[in-house]
Chain A
Amino acid sequence: NAGVTQTPKFQVLKTGQSMTLQCAQDMNHNSMYWYRQDPGMGLRLIYYSASEGTTDKGEVPNGYNVSRLNKREFSLRLESAAPSQTSVYFCASSEEGGGRYEQYFGPGTRLTVT
């Protein structure tokens, strides 16, 4: 099992460019998440998907969109990148939503917007 995979690992964008971060999990989990990690801020939830076909906003959704393509894949799109979106992005999945279940994290994508 690969667990949670993310592509790309690193990306540099210019302000205004768009890109999609890809995430896939092979654990048959229902719930998936996108977080950003910034120094001193911990992890902040951008969007989550409780199950296939549903998505909801998290704490910091502005400037992002998501797609739950199928049960395995959950992508994050930046339509017009801004320097404030420079961060490390983590995708995670869990068996179900709520507080009970452990989240499994991917290795992250380091994004720099210049």
Chain B
Amino acid sequence: AQSVTQPDIHITVSEGASLELRCNYSYGATPYLFWYVQSPGQGLQLLLKYFSGDTLVQGIKGFEAEFKRSQSSFNLRKPSVHWSDAAEYFCAVGPAGGYQKVTFGTGTKLQVIP
């Protein structure tokens, strides 16, 4: 069965600092991989997704993620964090074929300090 692990429950970074949020997945083949962001009191919004091609994926709001097959990882990065990036971030994995469900990680809450 597919699964997603986000090992960091909570991360605090200073505004302007770089950010990396970790995501590890388990799946037999190459899956679809997603990062979603949830601002307080809101639903989830897609930041970026990966299936094939270039392993470095660019998303909205200046985020990028790198797919590393050998490490089963899909870490989210941003070079310089803004206070408005404070939110909860969810990694998700979806199977490439057939109708199966997307599995979400438990989320990483990002706090940005001035």
Interface positions of A (Cβ within 8 A of B): 4, 35, 40-43, 45, 48, 50, 58-59, 90, 92, 97-100, 102-103, 105-108
Roughly how many angstroms separate A4 CA and B93 CA in the complex, as a whole number? 22
Q: Which residues of chain B from 58 to 114 have any CB-CB distance to chain A below 8 Å in the complex?
A: 90, 93-102, 104-107
Cross-interface CB contact of A99 among B46, B95, B104, cutoff 8 Å: B95
Roughly how many angstroms separate A42 CA and B105 CA in the complex, as a whole number? 6
Query: Which of B32, B44, B105: most chain A CB closer than 10 A?
Result: B44
B43 at interface by CB-CB < 8 Å: yes
Using known A-B contacts A4-B43, A108-B43, determine if residue A102 contacts B49 with beta carbons closer than 8 Å: yes
Roughly how many angstroms separate A40 CA and B107 CA in the complex, as a whole number? 8
How many chain B residues touch A (CB < 8 A): the figure is: 27
Q: Are A98 and B45 in contact (CB under 8 A)?
A: no
Residues of A within 8 A of B32 (CB): 99-100
Main secondary structure of the interface of A (DSSP, over half): loop
Number of A-B contacts defined by CB within 8 Å = 57
Roughly how many angstroms separate A42 CA and B107 CA in the complex, as a whole number? 6
Interface positions of B (Cβ within 8 A of A): 9, 31-32, 34, 41-46, 49, 51, 90, 93-102, 104-107
Q: Are A97 and B99 in contact (CB under 8 A)?
A: yes
Residues of A within 8 A of B49 (CB): 102
Residues of B within 8 A of A107 (CB): 41-43
With CB as the reference atom, state the residue of chain A lying closest to B106: A42
Using known A-B contacts A90-B43, A90-B44, A102-B49, determine if residue A40 contacts B106 with beta carbons closer than 8 Å: yes
With CB as the reference atom, state the residue of chain A lying closest to B105: A42
Using known A-B contacts A98-B97, A98-B100, determine if residue A105 contacts B44 with beta carbons closer than 8 Å: yes
